[in-house]
Amino acid sequence: MTVAAPSHPLPLAAFALATLTPLPLIGLGVLWGDVWLWAAFLYMGVLTILLDQLIPMTAGATDGAEFPVADLLLVSVALGALTGLPVAVWAIAGPSGLDTGDKVLLFFAAGFWFGQVAHPAAHELIHRPRRELFRLGAAVYVALLFGQHASAHRLVHHRHVASAMDPNTARAGEGFYRFALRAWRGSFVDGWQAETARREQAQGHPQGLHPYAAYIAGSLAALGLAVLIAGLPGLLVWVALSLHAQSQILLSDYVQHYGLTRTRRADGRLEPVGPRHSWNTSHWFSSALMLNASRHSDHHANPAPPSTSTSTGASMNARMLSLNSFRLIGMARSLEALRYGLFDVHAERVQEPGNEPVVPAGQRKIDENANAYMNAKGRSQAMIDQAQPNTSNSKNVIRN
């Protein structure tokens, strides 16, 4: 049974309530365990799916109409992540008094929040033109041992999305686990090369620390803090929580562009990125929880300005997922038994004439070397040609 969607755009308060509610539940769970941790776990793991089923779609709205200024919300979520991660490590690995069951619940509840709420907030912040906001977003990724995402997402993914040159675009027929390993390794290397190319281009101008040096040093400092908190168990729990969050970040990447490709034009260049090169959904509660991350086409159409369209993108021929939610699809696609299943069929059905064909999944052999990346020289030159971040004034509203 479903009920009608809200008849008006969601206010900022709805986003604040959806994203921040788990934090006090987790905090109370650290103190008293039991019912509070169950509440946090069920909120992150079950409630979203149920509400998306009961009230599936958000109301339509004009561009920019749904969200007021929201940097404060993004900063609040980011600071919650930076303080919540060491607290969770102490509660799980330190002398918190929680029993084993409570620690398991805390691990999953906190990990879900880091991957599904803190990540979208950090993602918004790394697209902000203000340096302090960018650094705060990058700090969240650094704490999660995933600092390269702050560079690779902006400099590689946005340039090469929906092509073989983007390590974070899943290919048709590619299982999630193979994709995750390829994307992690590829984004690390390509992001480093992109940052290096930018520094070479800026010769003669003042150069600070290489971003990757800051990412690595920051992650090592985070691990050092974990050891101070709870010794070797603290280190292991910090790494485990980070991997848990990273898996959700990669699962989001996996779903958002799975099996979609851009046409290569007669001059050899790829067509511009358009709404049809991303998957979108407009389920209201998961959209609020994930700061509209599930409405992805507008983000790639206008990546630099920190503003968003609240439209689902249907009027722009965006890919709309007919399945229930990103989370349900991700859960299904993470099972290797369903590797060549429903999502492949769905991707094949929506490919338009002129796109690179989706080979039937059962016959497809993914060659990770052929056409996956440009050679090092060509890639570096391409990165030099990349547009610089847009620092023009724009609306300070949540955008994905």
Instruction: Give the model confidence (pLDDT) of 319-329 as tens digits.
Output: 554 444 445 44
Instruction: Give residue-wise pLDDT tens across range 323-366.
Output: 444 454 444 444 443 444 445 544 555 444 444 433 333 323 33
- 390 pLDDT more than 60: no
Instruction: Give residue-wise pLDDT tens across range 267-297.
Output: 888 888 877 777 876 677 877 888 776 565 5
Q: Is 394 left (phi over 0), alpha (psi -120 to 50) or beta?
A: beta
Instruction: Give residue-wise pLDDT tens across range 194-233.
Output: 999 999 888 767 678 999 999 999 999 999 999 999 999 9
3-state secondary structure the chain: CCCCCCCCCCCHHHHHHHHHCHHHHHHHHHHHCCHHHHHHHHHHHHHHHHHHHHCCCCCCCCCCCCCCCCHHHHHHHHHHHHHHHHHHHHHHHCCCCCCHHHHHHHHHHHHHHHHHHHHHHHHHHHCCCCHHHHHHHHHHHHHCCCCCHHHHHHHHHHHHCCCCCCCCCCCCCCCHHHHHHHHHHHHHHHHHHHHHHHHHHCCCCCCCCCHHHHHHHHHHHHHHHHHHHHHHHHHHHHHHHHHHHHHHHHHHHHHHCCCCCCCECCCCCECCCCHHHCEECCCHHHHHHCCCCCCCHHHHHCCCCCCCCCCCCHHHCCEECCCCCHHHHHHHHCCHHHCCCHHHHHHHHHCCCCCCCCCCHHHCCCCCCCCCCCCHHHHHHHHHCCCCCCCCCCCCCCCC
- 15 pLDDT more than 90: no
Question: Which of 95-99, 218-222, 393-397 has the weakest average pLDDT?
Answer: 393-397
Which of the four pLDDT bands, split at 50, 70 and 90, describes residue 54? confident
Instruction: Give residue-wise pLDDT tens across range 130-183.
Output: 999 999 999 999 999 999 999 999 999 989 998 999 999 999 889 899 999 999
- 395 pLDDT more than 60: no
Q: What is the mean pLDDT of the chain?
A: 76
- 373 pLDDT more than 70: no
Counting other chains too, the contacts that 24-28 makes at CB distance below 8 Å and 24 or more residues apart are 25/109, 26/84, 26/88, 26/106, 26/109, 26/110, 26/113, 27/87
In whole angstroms, give the CA distance from residue 124 to residue 71: 9
Instruction: Give residue-wise pLDDT tens across range 294-307.
Output: 565 555 545 554 44
Which of the four pLDDT bands, split at 50, 70 and 90, describes residue 99? very high
Instruction: Give residue-wise pLDDT tens across range 230-247.
Output: 999 999 999 999 999 999
Residue ranges covered by each domain of the chain: 12-384
